[in-house]
Amino acid sequence: MADVKKIATRQGYGEALRELGAVHDNIVVFDADLAGSTQTAMFGRVFPDRHFNCGIAEGNMMAAAAGAASMGMVAFASSFAMFAAGRAYEQVRNSIGYTGLNVKIGASHGGISVGEDGATHQCLEDFALMRSIPGMVVMSPADAVEAKAMVKAAYEHQGPVYMRFGRSPVPVFHDEDTFTFTIGKGEVMREGTDIAIVANGLLVAEAVEAGKLLADRGVSARIINMATIKPLDEEIVLKAAQECGKIVTCEEHSVIGGLGEAVCSLLSEKRPTPVKRIGTPDVFGHSGPAAALLEQFGLCAANIAKVAEEFARG
Amino acid sequence: MTANEKKMLMVNACKVRIGVIESTHAAKAGHPGGSLSAAELFAWLYFKELNVDPKDAHKWDRDRFVLSKGHCAPGLYAALALRGFFPWEDLKTLRHIGSYLQGHPDMKSIPGVDMSTGSLGQGISAACGMALAAKLQNNPCRVYTLLGDGEIQEGQVWEAMMFAHHYKLDNLCAVIDNNGLQIDGPVEEVMSPYPILDKLRAFGWEAVEVDGHDFDALEGAFAQAKTVKGRPFAIVMKTTKGKGVSFMENQAGWHGKAPNDEQCELALDELNTELARLEAM
């Protein structure tokens, strides 16, 4: 994919905010001294009167966003995933989740691919934390085009939404002119019958690559982009379980509490099916270049193909 | 404020106290101490200050009130019932299974409640967001919030204080109920928040200290709040925790404990005697 255009999903977030801001005057955007990184500055440059830097105070930011939403605004609140979902968890739960207010959390720099900053900034728990809040929609786009469409869908959705974006540029494989996004709907990227690989975030591109590697080795793998972790697209998972018989999940998240567990929970109750989860094991990350870390933790096409092939043949 | 208005407010504050005792007794749980210390404030807000209408509870330009010290819901609920947002009899369902009167304010189920609160420190942040949005919308409403003096130990409160000053939220008025006691004891022994006024002023707020049981003092402070431009306003109310029920006054133990049958009867005797005295004035 050397010639494929690469853009970080957080950039799609910033562009979407800027486009939405031009159409809807009820959008306000809050940030916590990371506007340049989360890309909300793209909105702030055009709509400075509706962009509010809260300083390094994520708890206040989340509850203030809730207050603004209670007045009929659609409030976007952004920080790194570690601080949006982690530090401000309780404010998100009580002031946004419990109230059901129209706050959209745009969390950037999720996952191990934050890279050099190391473990304190590599959030591998946000899906787990946010999934546990009743009514919270939890999503992670595969590329910048999907990110942009997701943000617009989040604006239209009534109620709290958590979106995780990445720091690193990732291949863009959706066509912005034709792509449509629906919250809660998975997307089959490649048909297959021997095994299904369900991925989200930057691992979708890796899973698609793995699908090609597997095809070369005679394994027919179905690749599913599961951008919405909650509510989970049960239909697409159950169909994959029925038609492929085995499922591999891939996420840039702890194997505890994320997409893998969501898929396992569904299958264990509705259609018991063998599953292998690819994610970070129950350990903290560490510093290093994003690509090296992803490879080290097995979050790459080569490892996905290896795990899936052994699983399919086992 | 006329003499009649003042009498009406004193009567309503006493009725709020009766509601607090009746509801926490029926719930066998809840927080009477800090509800009683803020009874005059609740009466002032709902019978003098706030532009709210029980018949049009969601009107866009209503003044907002956020009970940041959400555990004092019994006081808020009594005031809302008195003002006509829901039937007084419902107070006795407080904290019961199936009741809309949740242990802490729930904006989704309770008429007149503008923000769900209970986790300390978050209400004032929400109030900041409301005040900010009101300015963007050219909404003439004012936003009020009530905090506890223990609550201001939460770091988030000071994040919000910075925010309110930074964004010049002169449509925001924060009241701190300085009754001096929290669950574990006197606030200055648990973790001193003092000097409160100096802190507020250092954070850029205009701030005054008043006797929170004196309606004349409250009137002066709330009038002053509306004259301040370009910065938020805070009122530190010196109050007595458990005010109005002799055996609850200045007792940290009554922070979060309901009166039993005998205590309820004693308390209601005192309050009804006071109510009769006020009404005869």
**Which residues of chain A are in CATH 3.40.50.970 domains?**
6-171
* SS3 call for A135: coil
pLDDT grade for B155, boundaries at 50, 70 and 90: very high
Taking contacts as CB-CB distances below 8 angstroms, the residues of chain A near B119 are 90-91, 94-95
Q: In one letter, which amino acid is A234?
A: E
Question: How far does chain B reach from its first CA to its final CA, in angstroms?
Answer: 16
Asked if B137's CB is within 8 angstroms of A64's CB, the reply is: no
Spatial neighbors of B92 by CB under 8 A, at least 6 apart, are B22, B23, B26
State yes or no: cis peptide before B54, omega within 30 of 0.
Answer: no
Indicate if the pLDDT at residue B3 is higher than 60. Answer: yes
Taking contacts as CB-CB distances below 8 angstroms, the residues of chain A near B128 are 60, 64, 67
> Which of A15, A19, A58, A176 does the annotation list as catalytic?
A58
Taking contacts as CB-CB distances below 8 angstroms, the residues of chain A near B160 are 60, 63-64
Top residue of B159, B166, B169 to mutate, by most chain A CBs within 10 Å, is B159
Asked if A100's CB is within 8 angstroms of B136's CB, the reply is: no
A83 to chain B, any CB pair closer than 8 A? The answer is no
What are the residue ranges of helices labelled H in chain B? 3-27, 32-37, 39-44, 73-83, 122-136, 155-166, 187-191, 196-202, 215-227, 261-279
pLDDT in tens, B211-262: 999 999 999 999 999 999 999 999 999 999 999 999 999 999 999 999 999 9
Taking contacts as CB-CB distances below 8 angstroms, the residues of chain B near A98 are 106, 116
Residue among B129, B131, B156 minimizing CB distance to A66: B129
pLDDT reported for residue A263 = 98
Distance CA B194, CA B217 (A): 21
Taking contacts as CB-CB distances below 8 angstroms, the residues of chain A near B121 are 59
A243 to chain B, any CB pair closer than 8 A? The answer is no
Distance CA B160, CA A99 (A): 19
Predicted interface score ipTM higher than 0.90: yes
A-chain residue closest to B118, CA distance? A94
| Average pLDDT of chain A, as a whole number | 97
Q: CA-based diameter of chain A, in Å?
A: 59
Cβ neighbours of B229 (radius 10 Å):
8
CATH of domain B3-279: 3.40.50.970
Distance CA B81, CA A1 (A): 66
pLDDT in tens, B156-199: 999 999 999 999 999 999 999 999 999 999 999 999 999 999 99
Q: Average of pLDDT values for A56-74?
A: 98
Taking contacts as CB-CB distances below 8 angstroms, the residues of chain B near A60 are 125, 128, 156, 159-160, 163
pLDDT in tens, A247-280: 999 999 999 999 999 999 999 999 999 999 999 9
pLDDT in tens, B68-113: 999 999 999 999 999 999 999 999 999 999 999 999 999 999 999 9
A214 to chain B, any CB pair closer than 8 A? The answer is no
Distance CA B209, CA B194 (A): 13
Give chain B's contact residues with A (Cβ, < 8 Å): 60, 64, 66, 106-108, 114-116, 118-119, 121-123, 125-134, 136-137, 139, 155-156, 159-160, 162-163, 166-167
Indicate if the pLDDT at residue A235 is higher than 70. Answer: yes
pLDDT in tens, B58-67: 999 999 999 9
Indicate if the pLDDT at residue A1 is higher than 50. Answer: no
pLDDT reported for residue A245 = 98
pLDDT grade for A217, boundaries at 50, 70 and 90: very high
Residue B242: left (phi > 0), alpha (psi -120 to 50), or beta?
left
**Which residues of chain A are in CATH 3.40.50.920 domains?**
187-313
The CATH number of domain A6-171 is 3.40.50.970: yes
Residue among A55, A64, A99 minimizing CB distance to B128: A64
Q: Average of pLDDT values for A305-309?
A: 98
Does the global pTM surpass 0.90?
Answer: yes
User: What ranges do the domains of chain B cover?
Assistant: 3-279
pLDDT reported for residue A157 = 98
Indicate if the pLDDT at residue A2 is higher than 70. Answer: no
Asked if A73's CB is within 8 angstroms of B136's CB, the reply is: yes
Fold classification of A187-313 (topology level): Rossmann fold (3.40.50)
| Average pLDDT of chain B, as a whole number | 98
To the query of whether residue A58 is one of the catalytic residues in this protein, the response is: yes
Tell me the percentage of chain A whose pLDDT exceeds 70: 99
Which residues of A, range 99-128, sit inside 8 Å of B by Cβ?
99-100
Question: How far does chain A reach from its first CA to its final CA, in angstroms?
Answer: 30
B-chain residue closest to A61, CA distance? B125
pLDDT reported for residue A4 = 85
Q: Average of pLDDT values for B44-54?
A: 98
